A and B are shown apart, each in its own frame.
Chain A
Amino acid sequence: MIEFRNVYKTYDNGTKALRDLNLRVNEGEFVFIVGSSGAGKSTLLKILMREETPNSGEVIVNNTRLSTLKHRDIPYYRRTLGMVFQDFRLIPNMTVFDNVAFAMRVTGASTKAIRKKVPYVLAHVGLAEKSKCFPNELSGGEQQRVGLARALINNPALIIADEPTGNVDPRMSFEIVDMLNQINRNNGTTILMVTHEHALVRKFRRRIIEIQNGELVADSGPEVDYYV
């Protein structure tokens, strides 16, 4: 699913963000990525989203070789990913429904398909009743579930969650990660979650990868037993 081979990334200002990173995540895995700030986690995600390209090395996601991906093909690659952000990134003047529908509309989906699918996904994250609400009428946990619904709407094979519980209170945090866990178990969606919260990591006991100074320093090993 995801493969990093000898990846180096140095920014223009000289910051060495990744140094010879090697990593392999199989389809259907749930991986926590931990590490102190500035360790290179953000760079890792940016490379996965094809916002940044490595200086050297190879990154392959879902059989797509990111180094040879053309600018005009990037949107189609990104449609295979679902992204969840720490700050939710919901559009304030759009309802919950429209926020989720937005991600679908971008891909050229018809209004009919949108009307059919959005309520389904909202029900899936337990927000069926809130579809007419605006983001500021929801709690942090609820807002993040909208973000999750938006990430799920285009049936991505891989969900990338960048500290999804960072702005959510602890009880809701558990709920969010549990939801990701369920999505992983039920749909076989590969999940990559960057987090600082060790309590959550310990509780869910999934694969853990630790990055320090741009290098992989610990890996609990692939969870090959879930999907063969």
Chain B
Amino acid sequence: MRYKLLIAMAAFGLVATSAQANDPIAGLANTCNNCHGTGGVSVGHSMPSIAGLSETYLKHILMEWKSGARASANMTRLIAGYTDAEIAALAKYYSKLPWTPVVQSVSADLIAKGKDVTDRCETCHGVTGGKPDDEETPRLNGQWAKYLELEMLKYRDPGFQMTHKKMIRNAQKMEQGDVETAAKYYGAQSK
């Protein structure tokens, strides 16, 4: 069903027009969509949807990768070739697209357990991950659980250079077995 939703999204909402053929930022964004999905809505479990994330968050993270302050297995290499102005325009472009949760069903038990183990996340990300506290915090509702789990591994690995101290601290406090539960909990949230 969720794939049908994505197709419908693309058919109804994200249909571009001929004017967009000439929009340089749309052209640049097209190269991002290879990995992040048509219109920035991913169908790959390990790859995040980026459409509808806040401009502040996107710009911040892209610029941190460009400067090398924040590690990434792949994005640091890709993003360093773009100008600051292009990065700012990309962040703005994707932030204007609708956030499209891809709800991944889990059991009621997991939801209950997930609610419990994400207590520490609530302050910044909100109860469901759908209403973050500020513009610097990404939405998590209906983001791919696999991707969220992999991100948590990065925060929990001291050898992986992440930048957000509060996030590192909290990620490392979590029990090993709770990481996947938390990721699946957010992946299952629709709003």
A and B interact? no
B residues contacting A by CB (< 8 A) are none
